[in-house]
Amino acid sequence: MGDDAGDSAGIRPQVVASAPAWDRFAHWPVLRARLGLLALVLLLVAAALTPIGEREDKVETKSFVENLAPGQSAKDGAERPRDDDLVLYDHAIARIRKGENYYDFIVAEHRRANYPVRPGFTVRLPTLAYIEAWIGEPGQIVAAIVLMFAVLLAWWRRLGEEPGGEQKRRLLTLAFLFLGVALGLNRYYFVLHELWSGTLLALAFGLHRVRADGTGRWGAALAVAALALAIREHALPFVLLMAAMAFWRRDWREGAAWSALVAAFLVALSVHHHVIAAQVLPSDPPSASWLGLRGLSGWLSNIVMSSNLRFLPGWLAGPAVVLMMAGWANWRSPAGAFGTLLFLGYGLAFMIAGRADNFYWGAEIAPAMFIGLAFASRAVKSLIVAAFPGLLDDDPSEASA
């Protein structure tokens, strides 16, 4: 009984002393570890049983990866028309190239495509349309390649400075991260805002640093996140969390910088909405509600269908998302803490908000989420060892992956 009491209090010197400090679950007391392991198993089972991408109205929802090249179907190689929303963005870019002002035509383009114009959130910000009109398709290809390598390089460097980023796991992490960001090379979806905004957030995340004294290196991350936010307002939770974490560390200067970005963006968004609202007619129908309340299916479907997990059957893809989160939660480091809060926050939002055809919102966080897979096996093993001391011959510190 005395031994059980000691284990419940977490007094297992031979395990705790040998496990690295960044391995959160290895340091959990027995009761907490058992509850955590039970929760993980239940989530994995629920994720395996949860339908991915099914819609109640049975209308087909297309994923990013159905297109290997512009106009190509991944299933049979046959040509198919552009998706309606992509055609809308194509038209906007073409008209800007002709010298037209975005706000002079975008409401009319929405009506022509039978898309709502109220509330103002239904009309995208003009940033991406102007950028792509300026650089053209060759520039988009170059930008996608450069951005992907920038993300990989930023994370290679950050992993070298983070606890748990030793060489073997560093290479594994980059491999999984590549799977996450490579989707940004899909030319068919170059006009999709979430594709660029999400990759930019992965870059901003990789560029950010927290020094030993609690202050941050945030200038480059702030600039990149500002561009992501200017492209898609769904990047706002990332910026808000950056500000909150900075204030939590009492880094007032960084917190003020992120807060200033939020304020500037809200002013710009208000102007955008004001211009759109001035063109709305009483006959314009409102958008369907975004209060989807899809629960676990909303979270898993958004991530799976807007990432390369879409290649997997649903009973594997859903649990993969849960394992990503387990890996992030086990990584006790500045990156691990921020990533865990960020992805759980977006996951909760996807459970509550968004219709099934809004699955592409998941692209805002899917690229960086893949990093969690590099820490997933360690997280599972550490939970098992902490929950049942002595069950495994080796201790968690011996498993580097």
The 10 Å Cβ neighbour count of residue 281 is 9
Tell me whether residue 263 is in a domain.
yes
Q: Residue 157, CB half-sphere, CA atoms under 13 Å: how many?
A: 12
**In whole angstroms, what separates CA 339 from the centre of its chain?**
9
List residues bridging with 79 in a β-sheet.
72
Q: What b-and-e string marks burial along 85-122, b requiring 16 or more CB atoms within 10 Å of the CB? A: ebebbebbbebbeeeeebeebbbebbeeeeebbbebbb
What is the pLDDT, as a whole number, of residue 61? 45
CA separation for the pair 175, 183 (Å, rounded): 14
The 10 Å Cβ neighbour count of residue 273 is 15
What is the pLDDT, as a whole number, of residue 75? 46
What is the pLDDT, as a whole number, of residue 166? 80
Q: Report yes or no: 208 and 201 within 8 Å, Cβ to Cβ.
A: no
Q: Report yes or no: 28 and 36 within 8 Å, Cβ to Cβ.
A: yes
Q: What b-and-e string marks burial along 140-173, b requiring 16 or more CB atoms within 10 Å of the CB? A: beebbeebbebbbebbbebbeebebbeeebbebb
Tell me whether residue 60 is in a domain.
yes
Tell me whether residue 15 is in a domain.
no
Q: Which of 378, 298, 320, 299 is nearest to 48 (CA)?
A: 320
What is the pLDDT, as a whole number, of residue 70? 38
Question: Exposed, middle or buried by CB within 10 Å (0-12, 13-18, 19+), for 134?
Answer: exposed
Tell me whether residue 12 is in a domain.
no
The 10 Å Cβ neighbour count of residue 360 is 23
What is the pLDDT, as a whole number, of residue 175? 96
Range of the domain at 72: 25-398
Structure tokens at 210: 């927290």
Residue stretches of the chain with pLDDT short of 50: 1-14, 55-61, 63, 65-79, 393-401
Determine the Cα angle at 17 with ends 16 and 19, to 5°.
65
Q: Report yes or no: 228 and 204 within 8 Å, Cβ to Cβ.
A: yes
Structure tokens at 233: 């307002």
The domain total for the chain is 1
Q: Which amino acid is residue 197, in one-letter code? A: S
CA separation for the pair 356, 297 (Å, rounded): 9
What is the pLDDT, as a whole number, of residue 16? 57
CA separation for the pair 334, 248 (Å, rounded): 12
23: three-class secondary structure by DSSP: strand
334: three-class secondary structure by DSSP: helix
pLDDT per position as a tens digit, 115-133:
999 988 899 999 999 999 9
Tell me whether residue 13 is in a domain.
no
Tell me whether residue 7 is in a domain.
no
Tell me whether residue 2 is in a domain.
no
Tell me whether residue 20 is in a domain.
no
What is the pLDDT, as a whole number, of residue 392? 60
